[in-house]
Amino acid sequence: MDKAQQIMQKVRRIELQARKMSTATFSGQYRSGFRGQGLEFDDFREYQPGDEPRFIDWKVTARTGTPYVRKFHEEREQALLLAVDVSASMHYAGADSADTKLEYAATLAAVLAYSAAQNGDKVGLLLFGNQPTFYLPPAKGMKQCLRIVREILSAPLHGQDDSMETVANMVLQTQRKQAIVFLMSDFLFPSDKQAIGKLNFRHELIPVRIHDQAELELPDAGRVCFRDPESGALLQANLSDTALRGQHAKAMKAHLTEWERVFTQLGIDMLDTRTTTDFIPQLRKLFNRRSRLFVR
């Protein structure tokens, strides 16, 4: 079986999974979770406890001496942009994982795309971590969903991580209209609060962190030779060394915690997933949390 046939086989498998997962009930939760998006300004009202601070209008607040928030009404349709990391590290799958991180991302992207399509929303795609960058403008329909999955799975293996600043600029340059941006990555690159904040200011950002358990906790596997999938560099290590495995786990935890600190400080709700877990329950919780945040 050649590569094109393998990709199409994976596309069909993921399509079937996504259609099954993206039920009418789940589609309704998607709509509920993002009903505050695609908004047009309506009026002002006094701030009430529980209102989103980002909707405070500081000019009106300064003029009146009382906090005021902007009220909006919902547009009929909204745009969803799936920004997916396709760097070489996303092609990794540990021994306990049925899918690579990229295949896992493709399934999650397909569920979101089908849910959006069922609600009449447009869906677009931005692939980063490989050159040249691929951008598919938001459009409606099931054919768009299929193409999104196909483009994700067709990404070459040799791509290297882009900086968060580069990724933010890519999104801002290609997606000029306000959109819901799902940023899917393993985030194995330095944190950048300024770039994340800039992106979240213009769009509604939902980071989706995808990890493989074998990356977080190295197995006791004796002497091994690692190859960096992005740089090609080789490293020999003795994984029977308890101290070495402990140092790795500590470093990974510190890196993940730093990203979480950035998201928390900016008030961004993230989705943290692993390739061995079902993401649907987490998505449901995310949508339920978000449905309680919007200004009425």
Domain ranges in the chain?
3-35+76-290, 39-73
C-alpha pair distances (Å), 231 with each of 47, 157, 161: 51, 12, 10
Task: Report pLDDT for 240.
Answer: 82
Per-residue pLDDT reduced to its tens digit, 127-186: 999 877 899 999 999 899 999 999 999 988 777 888 999 999 999 999 988 899 999 999
Do 268 and 205 form a contact (C-beta atoms < 8 A)? Answer: yes
pLDDT by residue (tens digit) across 177-219?
A: 889 999 999 999 999 999 999 999 999 999 999 999 888 888 8
Percent of the chain with pLDDT over 90: 41
- Crossing angle, helix 3-21 and helix 101-118, to 10 degrees? 50
Q: Mind listing the pLDDT tens digit for each residue in 222-244?
A: 888 877 777 778 888 887 888 88
In the CATH scheme, what is the code of domain 3-35+76-290? 3.40.50.410
pLDDT for res 73: 53
pLDDT of residue 86: 94
Say which residue, 19 or 149, is predicted with more confidence: 149
